[in-house]
Amino acid sequence: MKTTLAAATLCLVALTAAGFPFERKGGSPPGVAPKEKRVQYAAWDDVNVIAHGLLQLGQGLKEHVDRTKVQMRDISTKLKLFNRTVAEMGRESQRLRAEGEALAARARGLEDREGQLLNVTAELREKAEEMQRERRAMGERMGRLEERVDGVLQGDAVQPGARNNSDARSIQLMLESQNRRIDDLMERIRLQQEKLDKQNVRIRTLQSQIHQSRQTATPPRGTNDSAQSRVPEQRDSPVDAASDCHELFLRGETASGVYSVRPGAEPFDVYCEMTPEGGWTVIQRRRDGSVDFDRLWEAYEKGFGSLKGEFWLGLEKIHSIARNGGYVLNIKLSDWADDLVSLSLPFQLGGEDTRYSLQIAEVGAFSTLESSLGTDATSGLPFSTHDQDNDQKSDTNCARHLSGGWWFSNCGRSNLNGRYFQSPPPKQRHQRKQGIFWKTWRGRYYPLKSSVMMIAPAAIENKS
C-alpha cells in the first residue's frame, strides 16, 4: 500500500509539472528578434494513466478503511464479551467462595459438637465401666449371701436365717436397681453413639461439598473464546449416594418425600417415610385404586406406578437394597372403618435366580397377625404372577386365580397386590377373594381399604 501511494504521488507531481506551461529564462541576443514562446502540455495518455492510478489509490484506501472498521468492530465485540464473561466469573467465584466459607463454618461447628459428644461418650463409658465393676462386686456379695441362705435352709438357727433372708432381699433389690441404672446408662451411650455417627456422616458430606465447591470455583484457563464456553459444572447430589432412606436420615434428611438412592451400580428414585427413629424405604402403596396391579412378571420386576401415589417399587430394586439381609419389613393395613394395624417381620429377599424368594426370619412364635405371611415364608416363598407360576399349589396358578403378583403359598392367606374394590365390596365371594386381603386380620373375603409396605435396617426397630 505504501509503494502504491508513493508511485501515485510521483505521478501526480509529474503531471503537475507537465500541466503548466513555462518559458525559458533570459532574453534574446541584441539585434535578434525574440523567438515565439513555446508552451508545453502533458500528453493526454499520461493524464489518463495518472488519473487511473489515483482512482486505484482511492479504491485501495477505501477498502483498507472498510476492512479496518470491520476489524475494529470485531475487536470491540470480543472485548465486550470478554469483559462480560470476566464479570460473570467474578460474581460466580464470589458466590462459590461465600458458600465454601459457610460450609466450612458449618463443618467447624459440627467438629466442635463432635468433640463435645466424644467427651460425653467417654464420660458415659467410664460411668458404665464403674457400674459394671459395682455390679460384679454386688454379684459376688449375692453369691456369698446365697451360700449363707442355703446353709440356713439346711438347719441353721431360725432367727439368724430370717435376718439373712431379709439382707439377701434388700441386696437383691439394690442389685436390681443397679442393673436398671446400668441398662439406662448403656441406652444413653447407644443413643449418644448414634448421634455421633450422624454427625460424622454430616461432616463427611460437608467436607465433600466443600472440596467440590473449591474445585468448581477454580476459573478455567485458556483463550478468550474458550473462557466464554466454559461454565462451572453444577452437581445436585453428594459425591457418595445413600444406599437407602435410613442412610439419608443419618445424613440429616428428616422430611418424607422422593429421594435418589444408589444401593448398587445404578441410582433410582424411592419414596422415603421419615420417622423420629429413622428412614423407611416404601416398596408398595395401595390407597385409591388409581393403578392397576394385575400385571405380568416384567412389570413387577422393574416396578410401576407413581411414587407419590400408588406404586410397586420393583423386585430388582427391593433386592438391591435388602439383598444382604439385616432388614425388617413393616406392613400397615387399614379397613373401611379406618381401623389401622401394623406388623413387622425380619426378612431377606433373594435375587432373580431364586425368583425373588421372600424368607421371613422366625424369632419366636409368630403372632396371629404375622402368621398370614410369616408362617409360610420361613423356608422361602418365590414370587408369582400370571405368566410366572411359582406358588406352592400344584394344580392352580394363584396369581391367575386371584389377581396381581404376590408371594403366594397356596392362594389363601394374604395378597396385598390384588384388585382394589371401592366400598361396598362385591357381594359374590369369588369376586371378593380377588381383592386386597389379610386373612388373619379381617378375613379371607374382606377387601381392605389401604396397605403400605416399607423396609429399613433392623436397627431401626430397636429404637422404636
Q: What pLDDT sits at residue 52? A: 86
Give the residue numbers spanning the domain of 60: 49-143
Q: Give yes or no for residue 149 having a pLDDT over 70.
A: no
Asked if residue 112 is part of any domain, the answer here is yes
Res 215 pLDDT > 70: no
Residue type, 329: L
For 286-307, how does the pLDDT look when each residue is reduced to its tens digit (9 = 90+)? 999 999 999 999 999 999 999 9
* CA pair distance 419, 291, nearest whole angstrom: 10
Set of cell numbers at residue 333: 393395613
Instruction: Establish if 84 belongs to a structural domain.
Output: yes
pLDDT band at 5 (very low <50, low <70, confident <90, very high): low
Which among 90, 121, 143 is the end of a domain?
143
Distances (CA, A) of 136 to 130, 143, 174, 354: 10, 10, 13, 50
Identity (one letter) of the amino acid at 398? C
254 within some domain: yes
Q: Is residue 271 part of a domain?
A: yes
Mean pLDDT (the chain) is 80
Q: Which residue has the higher pLDDT, 238 or 171?
A: 171
Q: Residues 130, 273: one domain?
A: no
Per-residue pLDDT at 30 exceeds 80: no
Q: Are 398 and 250 found together in one domain?
A: yes
Asked, for residue 32, whether it belongs to a domain, the answer is no
Span 50-70, pLDDT tens digits: 888 888 888 888 888 998 999
Are 127 and 253 in the same domain? no
Q: Which residue, 143, 172, 188, sits at the end of a domain?
A: 143
122 and 254 both lie in a single domain? no
SS3 281: strand
- Let me know if residue 190 belongs to a domain: no
Cell of 392: 406352592
Task: Let me know if residue 211 belongs to a domain.
Answer: no
Domain boundary residue, one of 109, 143, 177 = 143
Number of domains forming the structure of the chain? 2
The reply to whether 354 falls in a domain is yes
CATH of the domain at 422: 3.90.215.10
